[in-house]
Structure 1
Amino acid sequence: MSSLSVISGKSSEDLARRLSKKIKANLVKSEIRIFADGESKITLKGKISKKKSVVVQSIYPPVDTNLIQVLSLISKAKEISSQVIAVIPYMGYARQDREFLPGEVVTMKVLGKLFKGAGASKVIAVDIHSLIGFNHFTITTKNVTAIPDLVQYFKKLRLKNPLIVSPDQGGKERAQEFASKFGTEYIALEKKRDRKTGKVQIQTKNVEVGGRDLILVDDMISTGGSIVKATQFLKKQKCGRVYVACTHALLMNDAEKKIKKAGVTKIVSANTIPGKTSVVDVSSTIAKAIV
């Protein structure tokens, strides 16, 4: 029996399978039954290693269901394994890392306690929305990035004088890293978001993008509002094709349709969240963080 097990949560089955092959681990699958009242009943199929287990589960919608499932899997793994590593490819609640408005609960603080309490000794995430969230954890944490994997994908495309664009100043460093690995320049747009309504406005006046193919880079796309606004603005500046590169494609409420309608040629995302845009595999990047 392998001294290492990968326990696959329902939300990350394909990624868990790929990861188990990369690290030569025994794959343990989970069978989930959801009762009429929404409760999850989990049954593990396979032998769990006594030494080390890796639980793989992304916390995307239904967020609370996937969260309680991963905590349950960690807890079960800890009954058998002496060490449990939680791989959370997409860390839900990562945007709730500080108190923006008075009275707000910092949910990442709660998650820090929950992962420790369930029995995880280490948590690995891919492109967590903000590293501040991990400051609330008292166990070992590691954040890995999908940028090199995404860059490799885009290098295979025939792009005309490509330029990397961040839809806002907050993603400037991400765009810079993407551009340096790709071997081209980058720009970051200025946007303003209303904290109460969530409405986005681009404040940048003019950019020199005429005829150039653009790659809009972001860590995650939820409703796609920022991407739509940025694309509409860039199209007015007579750019070439617009591509979107992101790690986590949540694509809520017809976001994909709205993004395509705005003029985006293709959305490319990592397989941290399974879907038709998730064509970039990050299992090798995660594997390096485990070993």
Structure 2
Amino acid sequence: MGLYDQLTIFTGNANPELARKVCAYIDIPLGRIEVFKFSNENIFVRIGESVRENDVFVIQSFSSPVNESIMELLIIIDALKRASAGRITAVIPYYGYGRTDKKDQPRVPITARLIADMITVAGADRVLTIDLHAGQIQGFFNIPVDEMTALPILARYFQEKQLSNPVVVSPDLGSTKRARNFADELNAPLAIIEKRRKGNNDQTELLNLIGDVRDAEVILIDDEIDTAGSITQAAELCLARGARTIYAACTHPVLSGPAVERLARSPIQELVVTDTIPLPPHKHLEKITVLSVAPLLGESIQRIHTGASVSLAYRSAARLRWPSVG
């Protein structure tokens, strides 16, 4: 019996291309599955092969349509459980609802916790994810959670640019730790933008830039870009403070609402993202570069399957060049 004979990977409809790349990295076929909606919008799943006692991984980002992607994952997990899968790992490259991780207003939900409970109740035994919006979401699960990060992938891309005077800028105080780690990877100084959010309407008010970006090649770094309001305002502020060139990078390119239009007319020269979320054609701007997380996920899945250290996945996957996919 081969090492991966009982390793099976399935995917829903959220990001099948990423799942195919992960399978290509491991050199196994993608599992056969049907996932579709009836005319009444009910989701139906049929597993097309035996999974009895197999180590099964389901790759499904919570990308648009978000609620449908979540329901697909839950139903797939339920189908696998009822088909006697040995262990089920939910691979969630992008964990939607991550921003709703605490009660910061009266009478509001903690939806990130609710989703964690749903995944556990559905029958998942483990979760593998990338760059959660808030680290405490790991604690919302009563099953093991492996959170990987795409920062080394993004950092390597900028290292290869050999920028002469890079400065990493955090677009808000909440992203400071992530930006500091990214700056350490590049051996670059750090600057921080202090901002205040106005209610729940995705509008922000920039207050201050802490640090020096004059004549610098600025790299704005965040975990996700949603409507692109914060990142484009941050870029304009850096430009006003004398930045020479402005780049931006994030793991999850949500790019909802007016994001593409804002980015197109912003002073950001290049936006570097990963393929945790697929970009439809209308969101593909010339200034957007997409790097693949498939080697990172593939290496992590192999290590979970064989019982090896997942924390060493970065080192093993780094032997291959992180591919650009767009």
TM-score range normalised by the length of the shorter chain: over 0.9
User: Residues 76 and 25 (structure 1 numbering): CA distance in 2 closer, same or farther, change over 3 Å?
Assistant: farther
Pair 1:16-2:19 in alignment: yes
Aligned to 2:119: 115
**Aligned residue number for residue 171 of structure 2:** 167
Matches of 1:92 and 1:30, distance apart in 2: 23
- For the 8 Å contact 2:14–2:64, the answer to whether it is kept is no
Structure 1: gaps spanning 5 or more residues: none
Partner Cα separation in structure 1 for residue 36 and residue 207 of structure 2: 48
* Match of residue 53, structure 1, among 53, 56, 63: 56
Task: Give the 5 Å matches for 1:1-291.
Answer: 2-48=5-51, 50-78=53-81, 79-204=83-208, 207-275=211-279, 276=284, 277=288, 279-290=290-301, 291=303
In structure 2, list runs of 5 or more residues that go unmatched: 304-326
Q: SS at 1:170's partner residue?
A: helix
31-40 or 93-102: bigger deviation: 31-40
Give the TM-score normalised by structure 1.
Answer: 0.93
- Residue 193 of structure 1: how far off its partner (Å): 0.8
In structure 2, distance between residues paired with 1:182 and 1:284: 21
SS, match of residue 73 in structure 2:
helix
Structure 1 distance, partners of 2:29, 2:122, is 22
Distance in structure 2 (CA, Å) of the matches to 1:237 and 1:279: 28
The percent identity for this pair of structures is 29
CA distance in 2, matches of 1:92, 1:55: 16
Residue-by-residue CA offset, 1:131-158 (whole Å, 9 max, x unaligned): 2222221111121100001111222225
Per-residue CA deviations over 1:121-178 (Å, capped at 9, x if unaligned) read 1011100101222222111112110000111122222534111111011111111111
Count residues with an aligned counterpart: 291
Decide whether the 8 Å contact of 1:5 with 1:49 is kept in 2.
no
The residue type paired with residue 295 of structure 2 is S
Inter-CA distance 196–20: structure 2 relative to 1 (3 Å threshold): closer
The structure showing larger relative contact order (alpha-carbon pairs under 8 Å, at least 6 residues apart) is 1
Residues 1:51 and 1:156: Cα distance change in structure 2 (over 3 Å): same
Distance, in Å, in 2 between the alignment partners of 1:206 and 1:84 is 45
Q: Aligned Cα RMSD in Å?
A: 1.9
> Are the equivalent residues in 1 in contact too, given 2:228–2:255 (CA < 8 A)?
yes
In structure 2, the CA distance between the partners of 1:278 and 1:89, relative to structure 1 (3 Å rule), is farther
SS in 2 for 1:156: helix
Higher mean displacement: 109-118 or 52-61 = 109-118
Distance 2:160 2:60 in 1: 30
- CA shift, 1:108, in A, is 2.0
- Cα deviation code 1:177-235 (max 9, x no counterpart): 11111221121111111234442111115742222211100000000111011011111
The AA in structure 2 aligned to 1:6 is: I
TM-fit CA distance, 1:112: 2.0
Aligned CA distance change for structure 1 residues 264 and 126 (closer, same or farther; 3 Å):
same
Cα distance, 1:29 vs structure 2: 4.3
Question: Aligned with 2:157: secondary structure?
Answer: helix
The amino acid of 1:279's aligned partner reads: V
1:60: Cα distance to partner? Answer: 1.4
| Alpha-carbon distance between aligned partners in 1 of 2:289 and 2:123, rounded to the nearest angstrom | 30
Summarize the Cα distance change of 1:82–1:34 in structure 2 as closer, same or farther, 3 Å threshold: same
Q: Structure 1 residues 205 and 113, CA, compared in 2 at 3 Å: closer, same or farther?
A: closer
The answer to whether the Cα contact below 8 Å between 2:190 and 2:211 also exists between their aligned partners in 1 is: no
